Amino acid sequence: MDRLTAEIRACRICRDNPAGRPLAHEPRPVLVASKTAGMLIAGQAPGTKVHATGIPFNDASGDRLRDWLGVSRDEFYDPHCFAIVPMGFCFPGQDAKGGDLPPRRECAPAWRARLLALMPQIELVLTIGLYAQAWHLGAARSASLTATVEDWRRHFAAPGRPKVLALPHPSWRNIGWIKRHPWFEMELLPFLKAEIRHRLKEG
Ligand code: SF4
């Protein structure tokens, strides 16, 4: 694990051997790998503040996610509780409108399967957004991001491990989505909070 995370931290694929346009800045992979955490947060990619600080979810999205999970910052950043492995480890840059670009497509094929193979203890994966849904649910996911999140009971009840709970991205951009889908706050979040609390107590 230490060797692989050191390799990842030194990775320059998106600068030196990109699949398309090279990354416009120096790579700074941000992740928390863990051999003991029972829960994995499968995020999207760092934003500007996370890139600047090197701390995952160290921004308003992270505050909202911690609120959804019902955990403190100490619990969230405890590597015995949560591994944090986004679909792209480096900030991908922004589009012309100032929105974050999608995770770099080079990243997951290069690293994800190898890294997750070293974390067989993970019991619960929280997928954040479409890219993580696609990786962790594959063909089992529903027709859209919203449909997959709405189908959370069925996906969670699917046999096998780890369990997967699909979430939208906690960005302010999704506040409208949350308002339009009141079941998310009324049904999914209470279940999520109880599940996390139970697993933290057990762990
Ligand atoms: S995004 Fe992933 S593949 Fe690209 S440079 Fe960063 S660590 Fe390497």
Residue 98 has what pLDDT? Answer: 85
Rounded to the nearest angstrom, the distance between the alpha carbon of 13 and the centre of ligand 1 is 6
Determine what percent of the chain is predicted with pLDDT higher than 70: 100
Report helix, strand and coil shares of the chain as percent, to nearest 5: 45, 10, 45
Average pLDDT over every residue of 24-40? 97
Interval 146-164 mean pLDDT: 95
Residues 6+ apart with CB under 8 A from 147: none
Residues paired with residue 167 on neighbouring β-strands, in sequence order:
128
180 φ/ψ angles, rounded to the nearest 5 degrees: -75, -15
Q: What percent of the chain has pLDDT over 90?
A: 93
- Are 44 and 132 a contacting pair, CB within 8 Å? yes
Cβ neighbours around 70 below 10 Å, total: 16
CB distance 27 to ligand 1 below 6 Å:
yes
| Confidence band of 153 (pLDDT split at 50, 70, 90) | very high
Task: Tell the residue nearest (CA) to atom 3 of ligand 1.
Answer: 107
Determine if the pTM surpasses 0.85.
yes
d(CA 128, CA 165): 9
With a 6 A CB cut-off, is 29 part of the ligand 1 pocket? Answer: yes
C-beta 149 within 6 A of ligand 1: no
Give pLDDT, residue 168: 95
- Residues 118-143 pLDDT 10s: 999 999 999 999 999 999 999 999 99
Cα–Cα dist 172/60, whole Å: 8
Residue 49 binned pLDDT confidence (cut-offs 50, 70, 90): very high
Tell me the pLDDT tens digit for each residue of 80-124: 999 999 999 999 999 988 888 999 999 999 999 999 999 999 999
Average pLDDT, the chain: 96
